[in-house]
Amino acid sequence: QVQLVESGGGLVQAGGSLRLSCAASGRTFGSYAMGWFRQAPGKEREFVAAISRGGGNTYYADSVKGRFTISRDNAKNTVYLQMNNLKPEDTAVYYCAADFMGPGRTDYSPYDYWGQGTQVTVSS
């Protein structure tokens, strides 16, 4: 069992930055590929970014490529999402997710564990 707790969300003006963190419980964090997804009101959950178990491979949605960076620190059981040049359309609840022995995937269905989400609001 893995518990995920996100933090770092908030209200920011367009063009600003936020860094989300996701802390995982347990001693097997390195066995999980990690992903960030988001869901805006009235919309489906969508992929944002993913990172492989060792951190060597990263994947991004086209909408965030060049603005967001995913990283992880396996010694701290934490995955991060650095978000720069935020836009109003980035407003959503952001979730981190863990995929046991996965490669880092863009589809949400293989992910085994999810956090409770953190709200990101970008004002224009």
What is the band of 102 on the pLDDT scale with cuts at 50, 70, 90?
confident
Mean pLDDT, rounded, for 76-86:
98
Contact between residue 30 and residue 100 where contact means Cβ atoms under 8 Å apart: no
Q: What is the pLDDT of residues 13-72, one digit of tens each?
A: 999 999 999 999 987 999 999 999 999 999 999 999 999 999 999 999 999 999 999 999
For 71, other C-beta atoms within 10 Å of its C-beta total: 15
Dist. CA 50–CA 32, nearest whole Å: 11
Residue 103 CA: distances (Å) to CA of 15, 20, 31, 42, 61: 32, 21, 10, 30, 16
Does the pLDDT of residue 116 top 90, yes or no?
yes
Provide the 10 A C-beta neighbour count for residue 12: 17
Share of the chain above pLDDT 70, in %: 100
Query: Is residue 93 predicted with pLDDT exceeding 90?
Result: yes
- Amino acid identity of residue 27, one-letter, is R
Q: Which two tokens stand for residue 104?
A: 């880092």
